[in-house]
Structure 1
Amino acid sequence: MKITVVGTGYVGLVSGVCFAEIGNEVICVDQQIEKVQMLNQGEVPIYEPGLKELIQQNKNLQRLSFTTDIRNAVSQSEMIIIAVGTPSLPNGEANLDYIRQAALDIALAINGKKIIVTKSTVPVGTNEEIKSIIRAHTDHPFEIASVPEFLREGTAIKDTLYPDRIIIGCEDEETASVLKSLHASLTNNIITTDIRSAEMIKYASNAFLATKISFINEIANICEKVGADVTRVAEGMGYDRRIGNSFLQAGIGYGGSCFPKDTQALIQIAGNVDYEFKLLKSVVEVNNDQRFNIIRKLEMALGTLSNKRIAIWGLAFKPNTDDIRDAPAIEIIQELIKLGAVVNAYDPIATSNFQKELNHESIVWCDSALEAAKDSDALCLLTEWSEFAEINLHELAAHMNRSILIDGRNVYEPEKVKEASFIYYSVGRPHAANISDTYTEAMS
């Protein structure tokens, strides 16, 4: 099948490459000339394991190309996939300007019957608006469908080629049949529904996963007070098939391009129909506060943070990506600077992106984990990169001014940290209790 993908962000680029990988002819379109030039030169604007190799492989097979010419791309294709961004507006609603522009551009380029597929995350009813925009500018026949994505940054290729399920929302059997055929090699779990339900499934899925994260973080906070171990609690919960063990890892909360944006958007969608989504509002509130537990634990360990040197390991919102959108590190570092600390910051991949978001004279940008730890009064692990988990803890302690480790992702085994003589605080595990007393005793 000949396919045009409009938008080369995470969703558009990964989807386009993967559709080429399974044998389709794919043209990826983007208005950003620099991005298209980069892709045509073999460079990739985002970090995603395995993506660069797949792009080159499918370009060599002449199944994948990149252009800024949407008119030419649409005219050559049977299916057009809209995968542009829907960033949040100040009130939490999804900004649909890019969606509307894509719909208009497609409408002006249509030269025959097309299937228009929306893969962007959009509020319920958006596909009807897309249909109205296109219908107002062309007499050519077309069909509209919603096929939401469920990929995760860092494992996006695997999630696209081996999905849990494919959701197809459309209005007629013929379009459903074409879309089923397109996805048939990926999974047998293909669910067809109406378009509005497909739009809602995406928001509901992300909101539920965000709820699991905030729930286990609340449980972790209670565990710290009662002496229970949240990792064992989550393990015991996860064996229940009704619950499952995914997204039950306690930490400093979610970030990234999806969960924060989609939870706020769903709250606003509910508000637009006079429904207050109390549960989801609490999920967001819990998540926003959870990251500041890092600050509270630092203050328990050190007292004032003024003139203290704090090492930060991990700037991306999760490992295996350079995405820093709504990463907990942003607010944590901002608060540390506000409290007078000096920050030694390090991330294996995301440093350059983070510098564009937050750059301050109190931040020292480091080229390695041990460089960041050198002469620090405390170390905070915010992103669970594998290189942090594999560090030699005895060597790490020797680099630091004080052996204080705040593990925001429960990466380390308490026994091993204790062997290296660290004062250790993790999330929801009983050994972390009374850290201030422990620290006072250790320093006396």
Structure 2
Amino acid sequence: MRITMIGSGYVGLVSGACLSDFGHDVCCVDKDQAKIDALNDGRMPIYEPGLDQLVAANVQAGRLTFTTDLAAAVAGADAVFIAVGTPSRRGDGHADLSYVYGATREIAAAVTGPTVVVTKSTVPVGTGDEVERILREERPDMDVAVVSNPEFLREGAAIGDFKRPDRIVIGTDDERARAVMRAIYRPLYLNESPILFTGRRTSELIKYAANAFLATKITFINEIADLCEAVGADVQDVSRGIGLDNRIGRKFLHAGPGYGGSCFPKDTLALLKTAEDFESPIQIVDAVVKVNDARKRKMGRKVLHALEQDGDGEVRGKTVALLGLTFKPNTDDMRDAPAIAIAQALADAGVTVRAHDPEGMDAARRIMPDLDYVTDPYEAARGADAVVIVTEWDAYRALDLKRLKDVLARPVLIDLRNIYRRTDVEGSGFTYAAIGR
């Protein structure tokens, strides 16, 4: 199959590389000439484990190309995927669909024959209807079908998620479009990955409902963690105890500083706005959004409280080593990362923040230019009054506690991801604070 991917960001690049690895001829399009030049030179615009090797192998095989020429890429394509950004619109939280509709109009001008247009971007219910309306209005002479095919990629594990998915959701009632989509995903079907065909609006809603439910699980266990601290229980044991119930499951029951990233924050807001537009409010998701926003600020206060408890009760003028800035490990994505709110709370209290992250410091500098960035976690801790683990990178899971204690001004470890055992840390002479334990 000849496939065009409009948008070479996270979703478009990963999807395009994986589809080319299945044997399809894929052309990724982007308006950013610098990004396309970098990709043609083998330089990735994002950090995702294994992506650079996957791209290089398929470029070398001649199955994967990159261009800014949308018209040339779309002409003659069997399927054109729209994988552009849909950020939250400023002021009201609605998904900004201007990039989707702009791409649609460019596709309409470029199609030369029967084509399936696939919305891979996360879009509100009814977006596919508008995409189809635009295409039919601008090119009534062309046989174009519109399909919804949401992505379910976790940053840091995206290639595995694409190649070994829990499910493939395809929203269309058009038989020709179904046949094209079956052909595209045939390698996964042979591996028995379930393909769920639905109506287009149902497909669009599945994506938002899935992310909202996962965000709810995270927020739920975070509130249970607070209760555990109040009553003297251990949230990790609670998580295991409820997660072993097959009706609940273990995933997304890890207490922490709140969710962030490119999906959950904007998708929960967009779902709330859709529900509001259709006068069908979703009060659970509304509560999730409010609790998660408050939790990030609460984590800043938790760090300040730990500083007050260990020492003279004064926090102004102290230094904290912040380990982990990205919203999760194995990505350089800083969007809505809890570290942003935590660092701001510390700075507002007069605390100096020295920060380290294995991959996210360049992105963090653009958001938080006033932090002191260092290239080593022990250098971050040198002379600091506390170490705070915000993101559970593997590089932080086996820190040399003796070495860490030797470089700190005060041996205080605040573990916002519960990656250490209290007995190990306190046995090494630290004051230890964790989440829900």
**TM-score, reference length from structure 2:** 0.96
1:199-238 Cα shifts (integer Å, max 9, x gaps): 0000000000000000000000000011111101100111
Kindly state the Cα deviation for residue 286 of structure 1 after the two structures are TM-superposed: 1.4
For 2:302 and 2:111, the matched residues in 1 are separated by 58
**CA distance in structure 2 between the aligned counterparts of 1:299 and 1:107, rounded to whole angstroms:** 55
Amino acid at match of 1:103: T
Contact 1:93-1:264 at 8 Å conserved across structures:
yes
Any idea what the Cα deviations from partners look like across 1:259-296, whole Å, max 9, x if unmatched?
Answer: 00000110111111122221111101111122233322
Is contact 2:300–2:343 with CA below 8 Å preserved after alignment?
A: no
1:407 corresponds to: 415
Structure 1 segment 44-193 matched on structure 2, within 5 A: 44-90=44-90, 91-138=92-139, 139-186=141-188, 187-193=192-198
Which residue of structure 2 lines up, in the alignment, with residue 425 of structure 1?
433
Whole-angstrom CA distance in 1 between matches of 2:180 and 2:63: 20
Q: Distance in 1 between matches of 2:300 and 2:352?
A: 14
**Counterpart AA for 2:45:** P
Report which stretch shifted further, 60-69 or 180-189.
Answer: 180-189
Deviation of the 1:413 alpha carbon? 1.1
CA contact (8 A) 2:76 2:111 kept: no
The equivalences for 1:263-274 within 5 A come to 263-274=268-279
Deviation, 1:305, is 2.2
Deviation per residue, 1:116-166 (Å, 9 max, x gap): 000000000000100111111111111110000000000000000110000
2:358 alignment counterpart: 348
- 2:38 alignment counterpart: 38
Query: Do residues 214 (structure 1) and 230 (structure 2) align?
Result: no
> What pairs up with 1:229-248 in 2 under 5 angstroms?
229-248=234-253
Provide, for residues 158-215 of structure 1, a one-character-per-residue CA deviation record: whole Å limited to 9, x for no partner. Answer: 0001100000100222311221232132243110000000000000000000000000
Q: Matched residues in 2 for 1:414 and 1:125: separation?
A: 50
SS at match of 2:58: helix
CA contact (8 A) 1:294 1:406 kept: no
Aligned twin of 2:311: none
The residue type paired with residue 13 of structure 2 is: L
How many Å separate the matches in 2 of 1:36 and 1:300? Answer: 47
Structure 2: how far apart are the matches of 1:66 and 1:76? 16
Letter in 1 for 2:434: S
Decide whether the 8 Å contact of 1:345 with 1:364 is kept in 2: yes
SS where residue 409 of structure 2 aligns?
coil
CA distance, structure 1, for counterparts of residue 243 and residue 342 of structure 2 = 30
Where does the alignment leave 5 or more consecutive residues of structure 2 unmatched? 309-313
1:60-117 Cα shifts (integer Å, max 9, x gaps): 0000000000000000311100000000012110000000100000000011110000
SS of residue paired to 2:138: coil
Higher mean C-alpha deviation, range 385-394 or range 182-191: 182-191
The count of residues paired between Structure 1 and Structure 2 equals: 427
Asked if the contact 2:116/2:146 (under 8 Å) is kept, the reply is yes
Secondary structure, aligned partner of 1:406 = strand
Contact map agreement 2:381 2:404 (CA 8 A) in 1: yes
Choose the corresponding residue for 2:290, options 285, 290, 295.
Answer: 285
Distance in 2, Cα, partners of 1:305 & 1:274 = 47
**Deviation of the 1:414 alpha carbon:** 1.1
* Structure 2 Cα separation of the partners of residues 345 and 373 of structure 1: 9
Describe the SS at the equivalent of 2:75. Answer: helix
1:239 Cα offset (Å): 0.9
Cα contact 1:144–1:171 (8 A) shared by 2: no
Would you say the 8 A contact 1:14–1:51 is kept in 2? yes
Structure 1 segments of 4 or more deviating over 4 A? none
Superposed CA deviations along residues 239-264 of structure 1, whole A, max 9, x for unmatched, are: 11110000000000110000000001
Q: Which residue in the other structure is 1:440 paired with?
A: none
Distance in 1 between residues matched to 2:306 and 2:108, nearest whole Å: 61
Deviation at 1:364, TM superposition (A): 1.1
In 1: Cα distance, 2:304 partner to 2:200 partner: 50
Counterparts of 2:408 and 2:299, CA distance in 1: 18
Q: Cα RMSD between the aligned structures? A: 0.9
DSSP-derived class of the 1:292 partner? helix
Give the letter aligned to residue 395 of structure 2: E
User: What SS does structure 2 have at the residue aligned with 1:185?
Assistant: helix
The worse-fitting range, judged by mean Cα deviation, of 52-61 and 187-196 is 187-196
Matched residue of 1:135: which SS?
A: helix
| Residues 306 and 433 in structure 2, CA contact (< 8 A), matched pair in contact too | no
Contact 1:316–1:322 (Cα < 8 Å) also in 2: yes
Which amino acid counterpart does residue 59 of structure 2 have in structure 1? K
Amino acid at match of 1:350: G
Partner Cα separation in structure 1 for residue 324 and residue 409 of structure 2: 20
Higher mean C-alpha displacement, 136-145 vs 117-126: 136-145
Percent of aligned positions with the same letter in both sequences?
47
Contact 1:294 1:380 in 2 (8 A): no
User: Do the aligned residues in 2 keep the contact of 1:86 with 1:94 (CA within 8 Å)?
Assistant: yes
Task: Tell me whether 415-424 or 18-27 shows the greater mean CA deviation.
Answer: 415-424
1:331 is matched with which residue? 341
Deviations 1:334-371, CA, capped at 9 Å, x for gaps: 111111110001101100111011212xx211110000
CA contact (8 A) 1:123 1:199 kept: yes
Greater shift after overlay, 54-63 or 392-401?
392-401
Give secondary structure in 2 for the equivalent of 1:26. Answer: strand
Matches of 2:118 and 2:100, distance apart in 1? 12
Q: Structure 1: how far apart are the matches of 2:146 and 2:162?
A: 21
The one-letter code sitting in structure 1 at the alignment partner of 2:164 is Y
* Alignment correspondent of 1:382: 390
- Give the SS at the match of 1:379: strand
C-alpha separation in 1, matches of 2:77 and 2:182: 18
Paired with 2:300 and 2:59, the residues of 1 have a C-alpha distance of 48
Instruction: Tell me whether 23-32 or 278-287 shows the greater mean CA deviation.
Output: 278-287
